[in-house]
Amino acid sequence: MPKRKLDHVDETKASRRKTPGETARKIELYSSAYKLARGQIPPLRIRPYMFLHIHASVRRQIRAGETDARVIASEAVKDALGMYGPPLAS
Protein backbone atom coordinates (compact mmCIF):
# COMPACT_ATOMS: atom_id res chain seq x y z
CA MET A 1 0.00 0.00 0.00
CA PRO A 2 1.54 3.34 -0.97
CA LYS A 3 2.18 5.93 1.71
CA ARG A 4 -0.18 8.86 1.71
CA LYS A 5 1.13 12.39 2.00
CA LEU A 6 -0.52 14.52 4.62
CA ASP A 7 -1.65 17.87 3.33
CA HIS A 8 -2.09 19.34 6.79
CA VAL A 9 0.01 19.53 9.93
CA ASP A 10 -1.40 17.75 12.91
CA GLU A 11 -2.43 20.42 15.43
CA THR A 12 -1.10 18.55 18.45
CA LYS A 13 2.36 18.17 16.94
CA ALA A 14 2.50 21.83 15.98
CA SER A 15 1.52 22.91 19.49
CA ARG A 16 4.25 20.75 21.08
CA ARG A 17 7.07 22.38 19.15
CA LYS A 18 9.36 24.50 21.26
CA THR A 19 10.84 27.79 20.26
CA PRO A 20 14.64 28.08 20.26
CA GLY A 21 14.42 30.52 23.18
CA GLU A 22 12.37 28.12 25.26
CA THR A 23 14.81 25.30 24.62
CA ALA A 24 17.78 27.49 25.54
CA ARG A 25 16.05 28.61 28.73
CA LYS A 26 15.40 25.01 29.79
CA ILE A 27 18.99 24.01 29.05
CA GLU A 28 20.26 26.91 31.15
CA LEU A 29 17.85 26.02 33.96
CA TYR A 30 18.95 22.36 33.89
CA SER A 31 22.63 23.33 33.94
CA SER A 32 22.21 25.72 36.87
CA ALA A 33 20.09 23.32 38.92
CA TYR A 34 22.40 20.36 38.28
CA LYS A 35 25.52 22.32 39.28
CA LEU A 36 23.84 23.59 42.44
CA ALA A 37 22.68 20.09 43.38
CA ARG A 38 26.11 18.55 42.79
CA GLY A 39 27.70 21.18 44.99
CA GLN A 40 25.31 20.40 47.85
CA ILE A 41 26.28 16.72 48.14
CA PRO A 42 28.82 16.21 50.93
CA PRO A 43 31.86 14.26 49.66
CA LEU A 44 31.43 11.51 52.26
CA ARG A 45 27.83 10.89 51.13
CA ILE A 46 28.60 10.36 47.43
CA ARG A 47 27.48 6.92 46.25
CA PRO A 48 27.46 5.20 42.87
CA TYR A 49 24.68 6.43 40.59
CA MET A 50 23.83 9.34 42.90
CA PHE A 51 24.44 11.88 40.14
CA LEU A 52 22.24 9.87 37.80
CA HIS A 53 19.42 10.24 40.34
CA ILE A 54 20.08 13.98 40.52
CA HIS A 55 19.96 14.19 36.73
CA ALA A 56 16.64 12.32 36.60
CA SER A 57 15.12 14.41 39.37
CA VAL A 58 16.15 17.71 37.75
CA ARG A 59 14.72 16.63 34.38
CA ARG A 60 11.48 15.44 35.99
CA GLN A 61 10.98 18.74 37.81
CA ILE A 62 11.71 20.85 34.72
CA ARG A 63 9.19 18.81 32.73
CA ALA A 64 6.68 19.37 35.53
CA GLY A 65 7.07 23.12 35.05
CA GLU A 66 9.34 24.18 37.93
CA THR A 67 11.29 27.34 37.05
CA ASP A 68 13.51 28.07 40.07
CA ALA A 69 16.93 26.41 39.89
CA ARG A 70 17.42 26.54 43.68
CA VAL A 71 14.15 24.74 44.37
CA ILE A 72 14.91 22.14 41.71
CA ALA A 73 18.41 21.57 43.14
CA SER A 74 17.26 21.19 46.73
CA GLU A 75 14.52 18.73 45.76
CA ALA A 76 16.99 16.75 43.63
CA VAL A 77 19.42 16.51 46.57
CA LYS A 78 16.61 15.36 48.86
CA ASP A 79 15.63 12.72 46.32
CA ALA A 80 19.20 11.50 45.83
CA LEU A 81 20.13 11.43 49.52
CA GLY A 82 16.81 9.85 50.41
CA MET A 83 17.49 6.94 48.09
CA TYR A 84 20.69 6.05 49.92
CA GLY A 85 19.51 6.28 53.53
CA PRO A 86 21.45 7.69 56.48
CA PRO A 87 25.17 8.48 56.19
CA LEU A 88 27.71 5.78 56.92
CA ALA A 89 29.56 5.91 60.23
CA SER A 90 33.22 6.88 59.85
pLDDT digits (tens, 9 = 90+) for 5-50: 655 555 566 566 778 889 999 999 999 999 999 999 988 888 888 9
Quick check: 76 and 86 in contact, CB under 8 A? no
Output the pTM of the full model. Answer: 0.72
Quick check: 45 and 81 in contact, CB under 8 A? yes
pLDDT digits (tens, 9 = 90+) for 41-59: 988 888 888 999 999 999 9
